[in-house]
Structure formats: C-alpha cells, structure tokens
Structure 1
Amino acid sequence: MLHTSRLTSRLTPRRGLRAALLAAASATLVAAALPSAPPTPLGIGDRLFPHLGNPGYDVFAYDIAFTYPGSNTKPLNALTKIDAWTTQDLDRINLDFTHGAVRGVEVNGRPATFATAGEDLVVTPPDEIEEGSPLRIAVRHTSDPRGTNDDGGWVRTSDGLAMANQADAAHRVFPCNDHPADKAYFTFRITAPSALTAVANGVRLAKATKGATTTWAYRSSHPMATELAQVSIGRSSVVGREGPHGLPVRDVVPTADRRLLEPWLKKTPGQIEWMERQVGGYPFETYGLLVADATTGYELETQTLSLFERALFTRQYPAWYVESIMVHELAHQWFGNSVSPRAWSDLWLNEGHATWYEATYAHEKGDQSLEVRMREAYQHSDQWRAAGGPPAAPKPPSPGQKISLFRPVVYDGSALVLYALRRTIGQDAFGRLERAWVREHRDGTATTADFTELASRVAGRDLSAFFKGWLYGQRTPRMPGHPDWRSTTPAARAGR
C-alpha cells in the first residue's frame, strides 16, 4: 500500500500520511441459531491485530461467488466455500466476517448452526471434527458495499466496485481466515449485468452469458493472502500486451479513459524487466494495473492486479514520480505478495522494500538522488520512531483507524534500514540477499528473524547486532559511511 498523500509529499519538503481513515459502522450478521455457550471471538495472537485470523485450521482454497445487482449501493448475494485442514480437534469453527448477512452455513455438506461474536462468525458443526481432517465450509451470505470505502473492503467506484482489503478488511467482503499467515488459492465467480466487465486476481477461466447477465470466473495459480484479493466490476476495458518472457500483462481501465491512460500502461513491461534485473523473475502468472475512478487515498498491491486511483495518472505529476509509484506497487508482487509477512509487525519487509525499489528507480530513471532521499529520511527517522515505533516493532494502529499502521517509519524509515544494510555488507552481497530472499520464501510467509538469519548467512558474519539497533532501537543508529548525518529531533540537536 502507498498512501496518495504520502506520494504528494514526495514533491514537497514535508512528508506524512494523510489523516487515517475513519472507521465505518458494521452491519449486523444474521444468526440462525445460538450454541449453548456464548460464542467467543478468537485470533492467532498477532500483536497489532489480535482478533485477526483463527486457530485450529489451515485454509487451502477459497471459491467465492458474487452476484452483483447492477448497483454499488445494494448488497451482493454471495457463496463462499472454504477448503481447509484441521490442525486441532474442533467443536467450533471461527471465521472472520462482518458487514453482511449470513443466510446459512454447511460444514462438510451438513447444515451447521452459527452465531456472531465481535467480527467473528462462529460455526458449530453437527459433530466435532478431529485434528488432521479435511474441512469444507460453505457460507451463503450477502456482501454489503455500503459504508466500506472509509474502512476498507469494497471500494465504490464511479461505475461499480473494486476491493481494497489491506490491512484487515477482507472479512468485510467475505468470510475468511483474514491473516496473511494463512495464504490460500482463490477462485472467483462474478455474475453481473452483461454491459459490465468483471475481473479478479489470476487468470480468466471462463465467461458465460445467460440472458441479461454474464458470469466470469478467475483463478489464482499461486497462494495469496486474503488482504490481496481483488474483484472489480464496472464499465471497463481489459487491455492486453506482452511482458518479459511472454508474461501476459492485462490492464483494467475505465473504457472512456483507455486512450488517455495508454502512455502510462505501456511502461509496465519495461518496469517488470527492471525489477527482474534487481531481484529475479516475476513470481506470478500475470500482472497489470487496475485503474479505478474512485478516491481511496492510496494505491494497493492486490496480487497480479495492482489498484491505482485514476487521479494519479490524470493530475500533473512529474513522469518520474508516477513511474516510481507504479514500480512501488510492482515491487510488492515480490515483497509482500509472493513473500508475505508472518505477522503484521513484519510489515517493514513489505513497505521498506517497495519504497527502496521505488526510490532506486527514481534515482536511475528520474535523476532523483537516492542519497539525498535517504539523508532526508535519516533526518526525520528519530521523530518517526517516536511517533510510530521502530520499523520491526511498530505501535498498534490508532483505535478506529486501522490504516494508521501505515506510518512514515514503515516506508522511508524502513527503506533507510536497507540503505544502511547495503552500506554495511556491500552492494554485491546486498543484491545476492535480495534475490535469495524472494527465491527461498517464494509463495510463502517469512519473518524479520528469517531476514536477519539470511542476511547474516549471505554476508558471512553475524548481523544480529546491526538489525537489533536498526529495527528495534528507539533511536536510529549512526549511518555507516555518513558520520555527519544527524537527526533533526530536539534530542539529536542536544548532542547526539
């Protein structure tokens, strides 16, 4: 994710995130029956989002069908099927879900009772399910786009819908295990009026028209975190071209803007080639831009189809600036999507790397000095740490403002860590580390400890002290090779 306000601030001396988005009221789930004991919301213990995710099972695949009524102010009818394996005996199954009405649940083909607790849907199967057993859950529900723009989930565009589920909003769209630690394969089936175009992550499997509606089916070829799911419905054109090594590149744009946006869209294959020179082959089956006529306040790296505000391409920004933001979201396909964070405290690995390649691209292609940008980041780094916590130990988001997790310290403040690391281990070792990271953890999840261990292995020496200071310290360590760099905080001026 990259906040639009932060993008704009790259053009001025001041930087900062836009005001965190306001929380919207959630619709009440409809419960068919209550179990004998009160249902309890669960989580997997994430420090920043304690109620996200659920213990006891591991999802393998989602198959989600939406029926769009032709208006983005009305709920969609939906059927979510979840294939999983149990990791412990279960007499109840918790799913993350809110902002929709549940009409029925089946577990392994048999009707189940259900209730709600917080933002959990708590399902009681007819019989206890033993550890190590297959688990298929089918939930008939609605998915309500009203009120979701301000807190993630569905984004209402000028002509339909798109998704923006980061950091914890996928469960505002469909029932799921809403944590990046549990990645899964996705199939989407979208039925909509035939005048509209529906797209989703992955590649298209089928398109069938019946009467006045058309059903589109898409499937991901690689596992995906729930926060990266994308479905778009609108008056759109799908523009195809070829990327490196024959990679299919498909962009989804408002039909009326197809010619206007083409000068930007045609840059994507070259940007993919540039990223492949940095870190290795593109990790997925396709890529492209989804340009939405909506105001979100950010761009978002939804897997294989990154979401962009139309305004990024229609306002008078410098070309280097727009292209570097395109590269930021592209870089996330490796860092954050293919290699996903095991916990939300590992977010710096996503945003720090995406910002690093954004800044490196701007340096190489737009004559925007990387060193100047990093020096400016260093000047603010102690202030950012005080406000948001160290890069790998961020403070929790503000109450009711979950997007406030995306603070400057996870962007330029974390790219600064990578700059210091490259100066410490050398450019060649840094390049080997980056390639090894995305190769060894492809399609999986990884932690800050994993990155520390791999960096030490590639460098041939223990770097734990380096990472302890740079990732967890309340104060920013001295920059290697730049003893003259100073923070501009009062503490730094006092004689740091």
Structure 2
Amino acid sequence: MRLTSPRLRAALLATASLTLVAAVVPPPQALGIGDRLFPELGNPGYDVLSYDLSLTYKDNRTPLDAVTVIDARTLQQLDRINLDFTHGTVQSAQVNGAPAQFESAGEDLVLTPARPVAEDAPLRITLRHTSDPRGRGDGGWVPTQDGLAMANQADAAHRVFPCNDHPADKAHFTFRITAPDGMTAVANGLPVTAPRRAAPGTAATTWTYRTRHPMATELAQVSIGTSAVVHRTGPHGLPLRDVVPAADRERLEPWLKKTPHHLAWMEERVGRYPFETYGVLIADASTGFELETQTLSLFERGLFTGAGYPEWYVESVMVHELAHQWFGDSVTPRTWSDLWLNEGHATWYEALYADGLGTYSLERRMREAYQRSDQWRAAGGPPAEPKGPEPGKKISLFRPVVYDGSALVLYALRQEIGTAAFDRIQRRWVAEHADSVAGTEDFVRLASDEAGRDLTAFLRPWLYGKKTPPMPGHPEWSGGNGTPKSGNGTPKRV
C-alpha cells in the first residue's frame, strides 16, 4: 500500500460571485517503499494486520469473482491509499465502510476515501473485484491440468489480489474459496470449518482456511483441482497435509511419506518447526521451479514422476523447500536484497542433507561453488547486493549466486568460527526472529555476538565483494572460469 501527500480535494467558492472553481487534483501515481530491486512495491502509509480473501472459481480460464478485505492501522494521515493490484477488474471499493473512488496507475490501485484517514487509526478496505488467471508469464495464478495454484514470488501476489505486495509487511490470512462440486480447494494454514454448501441449490462448495502465523504476500497459496488430500502426523503430533492429483495418490506415496523424517532432520539442526501444519502441494503444471509457500510447499508433478532425477536429488529439493519454512517464511527478508538469507540457508540444508546421504559431499559442492563464485558474482552481483531481474523476467532474480553462491558464504562462516558456534547462530536466528522480518545487518550482528567478536570485516567481502575472498581452511582452493550450473534441465529451487 502506498501514500501520497495531502491534496486539496474540495472546490473553491469565490467570495463575491460565488463562482465554483474546481481544484486541480493531480492524477494518481504508482508509488512504493523504495526497495532497491522492486522500488514500486509496498507503501509505508500503514501496516496491514490481516487479509480476508473470498474467491469463487469456475474454471482455470475464467476470471474468479473475489472480495478482498484488508484490516490495517495507519502510520500517518492518508488522503489517498495505494495498493498493489493488476490483472483484475475492480467493481467497488470501500474505506472504513464508506464508498471510495478508485483508479489505476501502473500496477497500483489508488483509492480516494470520502475523507482522509487519520494517523494511528483503524483502516478497513473492502474491494469487490475479479482475479484473472489468464495470460500469466511472470507469476501469480498458475493454471494446472485440473485447476489453479499460486506462485507469487517475487512480486506477483498483486496479480491475484489487492495487497501490500512486499515481504516487509506480513499479515494473517483467511481464505474462503468456492469451487464446483467434485473439486477440492486448499490454502495456507488450517481449515476453520468443514467444507459447506456455497448456497442452497448450488452445485458448489466453500472451503475456509486461516493462518495462525503472519505471512508475506509472496508466500500465499491457494490450490483448486481434482485433488487428493493426504493426512498423516509429523514430529510432536504436527498435522501434515499433502495435496496431490487424485490420479497420482498411490504413485506419489513413496515420496509423501518421507516428510516426517525430513522434519525431524531439520528440527535436530535448527529447532522446532515454526508453523501449525506442513505438507507438499504437487501440481500438474510445468513451472520450472519449486516454491516454499507457507505451510504448503509447491512442487511440479514432473519432479517426482519424470525420468532423470535421482532419488537423492529429489529428496534434497524437498528439504530445500522445507528449510525455507524457517528461513524465508518464519524469518522473512526485510528487503529483496536480503534474499540470500532465504536461498543461501535453504541451499545449505539441501546440500547438507545430500551430504548425509553419501551422494554429493558438502565439501565437494562448496569447492565447485567456489570455483564458479567469481563468475556468478559478475553475472548476478554479490550475494547481499544482487543485480535486479532482467526486464520482463522477474524470475531471473533467482540466479546461481543466491543459491550455491550464498550457501558458500555460510560455509566460509562455519570455517571461520567453527561448527559449534555456527550451529548456535542458526538456531538463534530462527528463534529470535520468528514470525518477523530481518536483514543482512541483523545476521551479521547476531553472528558477531555468538562468535564473541565482530565479524563485520570478515563477512562484508563475502556478502558485498565483487570477488570471492580466500576460503578459511582451504588455501588450496582457487577461483576459476567454470560455467554456472544453469540451463541443464534441473528445476530451480525457489
């Protein structure tokens, strides 16, 4: 959401002739909080507390009817309110129960309330609109063979619903999804009630879900399809829920049953799982990536059913997305430049898991990454200051430097301070910043405190340098001109 400065909005009454002179009101503008990589996203004007999304699905080629209710609190007086929203048609808008004018500016929806909203005041925005799944090439709704799913990273949630589409503003979510009978709808969090008839005489069912923890918009997930929902129990009685194409239920079970072990493995290393449920959502779609949507990670069906992916690789990718539930979902990046904190950590545990399987050692993977690191930095920038995405290709932000190039930073840190201190940092990071946002400087500060010495001078070249520093403990390692492992047919772990 975004803010403009106060403007004169009434007509001016001439004192002698009583001539009404119209005020010149500037046109609405697309605004943003100034994120270095996505400068037009977000709005510092207020803090979103919750989203309540109602979606009515017909088929995956027809716009969904939708109602979005946003509860927030203002941070300063608002004359105009900017939300991120595109690929939908707005029918009506209300601000605190009163009709509001609405206009589009770029990828913003700009509301003009009947009267300014004061600073530090409750703010409720109600929007009736459509959500169009057609013509996507850069995130948002993902059409599947039998319905829809969501893939909103990095900045595509506003292609689905009006929102403050920046990870710095986390909020609670409620989803109310209506779909034709015979289909199943799922979303982040847990069911609020049992599915119910949408309305008397209709052949549709409404499903309602709610998150117990705040969530960034890029992590929202709604899946609608002819799906099987598979329930089991994880560590500490954690309810697990997998959502798969119904026809593939039995075929996918050997993969689904691995999740309790993956959870126990991660908990041994970083502590208790941070949310109310977990599971995998396997979509019959070709996306080119897997995605850590909160409590329900999105995977391509082909990862599990296609030829060419060894079992150890598939398992390590499953662990990658699970690790994101701690690193990226519970602890969310303050800015998109802090993306390395998500992907570097998830890649670290992916690599550590593969190492434990005895298939691809951590040291070998880090040595190979070191050989390629200078080239990755030249192509994509250093880990904590990545280059922006290519024009029209938002997904290109996810280059090798934010994966293995960033895991290499963690390996160097462990080499410098030792395994015991490193492991304590990992646990403290996810415990102290749970359900909140944090950035690179927060990590450097916490690591320094745990190590008992200021690590700024050590970490800064690793995080911001154009060249890769020498690797502690490995004077024999040297950089090279190796080709980054991209375009080789393996799915991107987002």
Report the AA paired with residue 47 of structure 1: R
Q: Is the 8 A contact 1:35 1:115 kept in 2?
A: no
Bigger drift between 366-375 and 91-100 goes to: 366-375
Pick the aligned partner of 1:102 from 75, 85, 90.
90
Deviation string 1:257-313 (CA, Å, 9 cap, x unpaired) is 000000000000000000000100000000000000000000000000000000000
Distance in structure 2 (CA, Å) of the matches to 1:394 and 1:267: 34
Q: Does 1:246 align with 2:237?
A: yes
Aligned mates of 2:179, 2:142 — CA distance in 1: 17
Q: What secondary structure sits across from 1:439 in the alignment?
A: helix
User: 1:489 offset after TM fit, Å?
Assistant: 3.1
Which of 321, 333, 336 aligns to 1:329? It is 321
d(CA) in 2 for partners of 1:174, 1:475? 41
Distance (whole Å) between structure 1 residues aligned to residue 436 and residue 132 of structure 2: 31
> Please, which of 439, 445, 450 is the counterpart of residue 447 of structure 1?
439
- Opposite residue 224 of structure 1, the aligned amino acid is M
1:145 is matched with 133
Aligned to 2:175: 188
Partner of 2:401: 409
Q: What CA deviation, in whole Å up to 9, does each residue of 1:27-51 have, x standing for no partner?
A: xxxxxxx993200111011000000
Q: Distance in 1 between matches of 2:105 and 2:32?
A: 12
2:29 equivalent to 1:40: yes
Counterpart of 2:256 in structure 1: which amino acid? Answer: L
Aligned position for 1:305:
296
1:114 partner SS: strand
SS of residue in 1 equivalent to 2:100: strand
1:57 aligned partner? 46
Indicate conservation of the 8 Å contact 1:320/1:366, yes or no. Answer: no
Distance 1:165 1:252 in 2: 18
SS across alignment from 1:451? helix
Please list the CA deviations of residues 129-185 of structure 1 after superposition, one character each: whole Å capped at 9, or x if unmatched: 11100000001000000012x110000000000000000000000000000000000
5 Å-filtered alignment, 1:25-424, equals 36-69=25-58, 71-148=59-136, 150-206=137-193, 207-209=195-197, 210=199, 211-316=202-307, 317-424=309-416
Aligned 8 A contact 1:469 1:476 in 2: yes
* AA aligned opposite 2:107: E
Contact 1:335 1:353 in 2 (8 A): yes
Offset at 1:366? 4.0
**Following the alignment from structure 1 to structure 2, what is the Cα–Cα distance between the partners of residues 38 and 55?**
20
Say which one has the larger Rg: 2
Partners in 2 of 1:326 and 1:297 — Cα distance?
Answer: 15
Measure how far apart 1:367 and its partner are.
2.9
SS of 1:428 mapped into structure 2: helix
Gaps of 5+ in 2: 1-22, 483-494
Contact 1:56/1:90, CA 8 A, preserved across alignment: yes
Distance in structure 1 (CA, Å) of the matches to 2:387 and 2:281? 31
Displacement of 1:190 after TM fit? 0.2
Instruction: Return the alpha-carbon distance in structure 2 between the equivalents of residues 321 and 447 of structure 1.
Output: 30
Aligned to 1:26: none
**Runs of 4+ residues deviating >3 angstroms:** none
Q: Does structure 2 conserve the Cα–Cα contact (< 8 Å) formed by 1:103 and 1:140? A: yes
> Which amino acid is 2:91 matched to?
R
> TM-score if structure 1 supplies the norm length?
0.91
Q: Report the secondary structure of 2:69's partner residue.
A: strand
2:472 is paired with a residue whose SS is: coil
Q: Does structure 2 retain, via aligned residues, the 8 Å contact 1:35–1:113?
A: no
Structure 1 position 55, deviation (Å): 2.1
> Residues 251 and 111 (structure 1 numbering): CA distance in 2 closer, same or farther, change over 3 Å?
same
Secondary structure (helix, strand or coil) at the match of 1:462 reads coil
Contact 1:35 1:114 in 2 (8 A): no
AA partner of residue 262 (structure 2)? Q
Give the unaligned 5+ runs of structure 1: 1-33, 491-496
- Structure 2 CA distance, aligned partners of 1:366 and 1:295? 30
How far apart in 2 are the matches of 1:252 and 1:231? 11
**SS of the residue aligned with 2:357?**
helix
> 1:471 aligned to 458, 463, 469, which one?
463
Q: TM-score, normalised by structure 2?
A: 0.91
Tell me the CA shift for residue 194 of structure 1: 1.2
User: For 1:325 and 1:227, how far apart are their aligned partners in 2?
Assistant: 20
Name the amino acid aligned to 1:42.
L
* Residue identity matched to 2:81: I
RMSD in angstroms over aligned alpha carbons? 1.1
Distance 2:230 2:443 in 1: 37
Greater relative contact order, per chain length (Cα 8 Å cut-off, separation 6+): 1
